[in-house]
Amino acid sequence: MAAVESLPPGTPSAMRNAFGTVLSALILVLIGVLAFSIRLFSVIKYESVIHEFDPYFNYRVTQFLSKNGIYEFWNWFDDRTWYPLGRVIGGTVYPGLTLTAGTIWWVLNAINIPLSVETVCVFTAPVFSAFASWATYLLTKEVKGSGAGLAAAALLAMVPSYISRSVAGSYDNEAVAIFALIFTFYLYIKTLNTGSLFYATLNAIAYFYMVCSWGGYTFIINLIPMHVLLCIVTGRYSPRLYIAYAPLVVLGTLLAALVPVVGFNAVLTSEHFASFLVFIIIHVVALVYYIKGILTPKMFKVAVTLVVSIGLVVCLIVVAVLVALVASSPTGGWSGRSLSLLDPTYASKYIPIIASVSEHQPPTWPSYFMDINVLAFLVPAGIIACFSPLSDASSFVVLYIVMSVYFSGVMVRLMLVLAPAACIMSGIALSQAFDVFTGSIKYQLSSKSKDDAEDNTSTNNAQKDESSSGKTDKGEEVSKERSSKKGKKKEREPAEKPSVKSKIVKKKALVLPLEASIVALLLLIMLGAFYVIHCVWAAAEAYSAPSIVLTSQSHDGLHVFDDFRESYAWLSHNTDVDDKVASWWDYGYQTTAMANRTVIVDNNTWNNTHIATVGTAMSSPEKAAWEIFNSLDVKYVLVVFGGVIGYPSDDINKFLWMVRIGGGEFPHIKEADYLRDGQYRIDSEATPTMLNCLMYKLCYYRFVETDGKGYDRVRRTEIGKKHFKLTHFEEVFTSHHWMVRIYKLKPQKNRIRGRVKKLKQKTSSGVSSKSVKKNPWM
Amino acid sequence: MKKNSSVVVDLLLLLLAITVLATPAFSDLVLSKVERRIDVTSQIARVTKTLKVVNSGSESVSEFTLTFPKFLSNNLAYLSVSHSEGKGKAKRSLANLSVKEAHPKGMPDLISFYSVSLPKPLSKGDTLTLEVVAAFTNVLQPFPEKITQRDIHLVMLQESAQYLSPYVVESQSLSIKLPNARIESYTKLENSKVQGSEIKYGPYKNLAQYSYAPIVVHFESKAAFAVAERLVREIEVSHWGNVQVTEHYNLVHRGAQLKGEFSRLEYQDRPNPQGVSAFRHLLARLPPRAHSIYYRDDIGNISTSQMQSDSKKTELLIEPRFPLFGGWKTFFTIGYGLPLSDFLFASEGKRFLDISFGSPMIDLVTEKLIVQVVLPEGSKDISVTTPFAVKQSHEIKYSHLDIAGRPVVVLEKNNVVPDHNQKIQVYYKFSNINLLSEPLMLITGFFVLFIPCIIYTRADFSISKSSAAYLAKLQWDEVHWNLVSSTNTCNLLIV
Q: How much of chain A, in percent, has pLDDT values that exceed 90?
A: 30
B487 → chain A, closest CA residue:
A467
Residues 6+ apart with CB under 8 A from A113: B400, B401
User: Out of A7, A196, A493, whose CB is closest to B479?
Assistant: A493
Measuring CA to CA, how many Å separate A44 from each of A2, A167, A175, A558?
58, 11, 19, 14
pLDDT digits (tens, 9 = 90+) for A568-583: 999 999 999 889 999 9
Phi, psi dihedrals of residue A312, rounded to the nearest 5°: -60, -45
A446 → chain B, closest CA residue:
B494
Highest mean pLDDT, choosing among A15-24, A762-771, B98-107, B450-459:
B450-459
Residues 6+ apart with CB under 8 A from B197: B177, B178, B179, B180, B181
pLDDT at site A209: 94
Is the predicted pLDDT of residue A26 greater than 90, yes or no? Answer: yes
pLDDT at site B94: 63
Distance CA B32, CA B459 (A): 97
pLDDT at site A491: 39
Tell me which chain B residues have a C-beta less than 8 angstroms from the C-beta of A460: 490, 493-494
In sign, the C-alpha dihedral spanning B175, B176, B179, B181 is negative
pLDDT digits (tens, 9 = 90+) for B382-397: 999 988 888 999 999 8
The alpha carbon of residue B404 and the mean position of all alpha carbons in its chain are separated, in whole angstroms, by 31
Measuring CA to CA, how many Å separate A660 from each of A569, A583, A628, A696?
31, 16, 18, 16
Is the predicted pLDDT of residue A334 greater than 90, yes or no? Answer: no
- Between A155 and B30, the more confident residue is A155
Say if residues A154 and A424 touch (Cβ distance below 8 Å): no
* SS (HEC) of A704-762: HHHHCCCEECCCCEECCCCCCCCCCEEEEEECCCCCEEEEEECCCCCCHHHHHHHHHHH
Q: What is the band of A493 on the pLDDT scale with cuts at 50, 70, 90?
A: very low
In 3D space, the residue among B234, B233, B237 whose CA is nearest the CA of residue B434 turns out to be B237
pLDDT at site A765: 46
- Between A495 and A436, the more confident residue is A436
Task: State the average pLDDT for chain A.
Answer: 82
Cβ–Cβ gap B265/A705 under 8 Å: yes
Q: What is the band of B1 on the pLDDT scale with cuts at 50, 70, 90?
A: very low
Paired sense of beta strands A77-78 and A87-88, if any: antiparallel
Is the predicted pLDDT of residue A533 greater than 90, yes or no? Answer: yes
pLDDT digits (tens, 9 = 90+) for B128-182: 888 889 999 888 888 888 888 888 888 888 888 888 888 888 888 889 998 888 8
Tell me which chain B residues have a C-beta less than 8 angstroms from the C-beta of A459: 493
Q: How far is B281 from chain A (nearest CA, A)?
A: 14
User: Out of A4, A464, A549, whose CB is closest to B490?
Assistant: A464
User: Out of A113, A196, A730, whose CB is closest to B261?
Assistant: A730
User: Out of B321, B330, B482, whose CB is closest to A4?
Assistant: B482
Paired sense of beta strands B305-309 and B314-318, if any: antiparallel
Distance CA A283, CA A133 (A): 35
Q: How far is A296 from chain B (nearest CA, A)?
A: 29
Cβ–Cβ gap B487/A467 under 8 Å: yes
Phi, psi dihedrals of residue B58, rounded to the nearest 5°: -100, -25
pLDDT at site A401: 93
In 3D space, the residue among A450, A467, A465 whose CA is nearest the CA of residue A511 turns out to be A465
Residues 6+ apart with CB under 8 A from B356: B287, B421, B422, B423, B424
Is the predicted pLDDT of residue A770 greater than 60, yes or no? Answer: no
pLDDT at site A492: 40
A112: left (phi over 0), alpha (psi -120 to 50) or beta: left
Q: How far is B302 from chain A (nearest CA, A)?
A: 8
Task: State the average pLDDT for chain B.
Answer: 83
- Between B12 and B63, the more confident residue is B63
pLDDT at site A140: 92
pLDDT at site B170: 87
Within 10 Å of residue A224's Cβ, how many Cβ atoms? 27
* Spans of all domains in chain B: 2-220, 226-436, 460-495
Say if residues B225 and B43 touch (Cβ distance below 8 Å): yes
pLDDT at site B191: 81
Say if residues A388 and A507 touch (Cβ distance below 8 Å): no
Q: What is the band of B93 on the pLDDT scale with cuts at 50, 70, 90?
A: low
Residues 6+ apart with CB under 8 A from A204: A247, A248, A250, A251, A252, A255
Asked if the C-beta of B262 comes within 8 angstroms of chain A's C-beta atoms, the answer is yes
pLDDT digits (tens, 9 = 90+) for A176-208: 999 999 999 999 999 999 888 999 999 999 999
Tell me which chain A residues have a C-beta less than 8 angstroms from the C-beta of B478: 1, 4
Determine the angle formed by the axes of helices A239-258 and A173-194, rounding to 10 degrees. Answer: 150
> Residue type at A414?
L
Q: How far is A370 from chain B (nearest CA, A)?
A: 30
Distance CA A632, CA A221 (A): 42
Is the predicted pLDDT of residue B20 greater than 60, yes or no? Answer: no
B491 → chain A, closest CA residue:
A464
Is the predicted pLDDT of residue B417 greater than 50, yes or no? Answer: yes
Cβ–Cβ gap A738/B264 under 8 Å: yes
Beta strands in B325-422 (DSSP E): 329-339, 344-347, 350-356, 365-374, 380-385, 391-397, 406-416
Asked if the C-beta of B270 comes within 8 angstroms of chain A's C-beta atoms, the answer is no
Is the predicted pLDDT of residue A323 greater than 80, yes or no? Answer: yes
A169 → chain B, closest CA residue:
B300
Measuring CA to CA, how many Å separate A653 from each of A47, A210, A643, A684, A698?
28, 36, 10, 17, 14
pLDDT at site B471: 79
Distance CA A680, CA A688 (A): 13
Distance CA A110, CA A102 (A): 12
Distance CA A54, CA A51 (A): 8
Mean of pLDDT values over B411-422:
90
Tell me which chain B residues have a C-beta less than 8 angstroms from the C-beta of A111: 401
Mean of pLDDT values over B103-131:
82
- Between A452 and A346, the more confident residue is A346
Determine the angle formed by the axes of helices A392-410 and A217-233, rounding to 10 degrees. Answer: 130
Cβ–Cβ gap B264/A736 under 8 Å: yes
pLDDT at site A226: 92
Q: What is the band of A500 on the pLDDT scale with cuts at 50, 70, 90?
A: very low
- Between B10 and A649, the more confident residue is A649
Is the predicted pLDDT of residue A296 greater than 80, yes or no? Answer: yes
In 3D space, the residue among A396, A739, A368, A371 whose CA is nearest the CA of residue A587 turns out to be A739
Say if residues A221 and A56 touch (Cβ distance below 8 Å): no
Mean of pLDDT values over A122-126:
93
Distance CA B336, CA B289 (A): 10
Selected for mutation to probe chain B from A492, A502, A590, A591 (highest B CB count within 10 Å) is A492
pLDDT at site B308: 84
Cβ–Cβ gap A4/B478 under 8 Å: yes
B472 → chain A, closest CA residue:
A490
Cβ–Cβ gap A573/B328 under 8 Å: yes
Cβ–Cβ gap B493/A560 under 8 Å: no
Paired sense of beta strands B291-297 and B300-301, if any: antiparallel
Mean of pLDDT values over B59-63:
81
Asked if the C-beta of B331 comes within 8 angstroms of chain A's C-beta atoms, the answer is yes
Q: How far is A690 from chain B (nearest CA, A)?
A: 24
pLDDT digits (tens, 9 = 90+) for B247-260: 999 999 888 888 88
Q: How far is B121 from chain A (nearest CA, A)?
A: 55
Cβ–Cβ gap B401/A113 under 8 Å: yes
Q: How far is B132 from chain A (nearest CA, A)?
A: 39
pLDDT at site A363: 79
Distance CA B156, CA B216 (A): 7
pTM > 0.90: no
In 3D space, the residue among B156, B199, B197, B198 whose CA is nearest the CA of residue B180 turns out to be B197
CATH 2.60.40 fits B2-220, yes or no: yes
Asked if the C-beta of B489 comes within 8 angstroms of chain A's C-beta atoms, the answer is yes
CA atoms within 13 A on the CB side of A367: 21
Distance CA B182, CA B201 (A): 18
Cβ–Cβ gap B479/A706 under 8 Å: no
Q: Do domains B2-220 and B226-436 have the same CATH topology?
A: yes
Cβ–Cβ gap A4/B261 under 8 Å: no
Least confident of A61-75, A218-232, A310-324, B88-102: B88-102
Determine the angle formed by the axes of helices A96-110 and A197-213, rounding to 10 degrees. Answer: 100
Task: Give strand pairing partners of B315.
Answer: B285, B308
> Residue type at A272?
H
Phi, psi dihedrals of residue B133, rounded to the nearest 5°: -120, 125
Cβ–Cβ gap B264/A566 under 8 Å: no
Selected for mutation to probe chain B from A573, A577, A699 (highest B CB count within 10 Å) is A573
What architecture is domain B226-436? Sandwich (2.60)
Tell me which chain A residues have a C-beta less than 8 angstroms from the C-beta of B475: 490, 492-493
Paired sense of beta strands B146-147 and B257-258, if any: parallel
Task: Give strand pairing partners of A551.
Answer: A560
Asked if the C-beta of B303 comes within 8 angstroms of chain A's C-beta atoms, the answer is yes
Q: What is the band of B313 on the pLDDT scale with cuts at 50, 70, 90?
A: confident
pLDDT at site B221: 85
Tell me which chain A residues have a C-beta less than 8 angstroms from the C-beta of B298: 572, 594
Mean of pLDDT values over A294-307:
84
pLDDT digits (tens, 9 = 90+) for B183-207: 888 888 888 888 888 888 878 888 8
> Residue type at A174?
E
pLDDT at site A299: 84
> Residue type at A652?
I
Cβ–Cβ gap A569/B322 under 8 Å: yes
Asked if the C-beta of B488 comes within 8 angstroms of chain A's C-beta atoms, the answer is yes
Is the predicted pLDDT of residue A494 greater than 60, yes or no? Answer: no
Cβ–Cβ gap A731/B263 under 8 Å: yes
Determine the angle formed by the axes of helices A54-74 and A96-110, rounding to 10 degrees. Answer: 70
Q: How much of chain B, in percent, has pLDDT values that exceed 70?
A: 88
Q: What is the band of A151 on the pLDDT scale with cuts at 50, 70, 90?
A: very high
Measuring CA to CA, how many Å separate B388 from each of B97, B381, B423?
12, 21, 10
The alpha carbon of residue B137 and the mean position of all alpha carbons in its chain are separated, in whole angstroms, by 13
Distance CA A172, CA A125 (A): 8
pLDDT at site A456: 46
Asked if the C-beta of B71 comes within 8 angstroms of chain A's C-beta atoms, the answer is no
A443 → chain B, closest CA residue:
B494
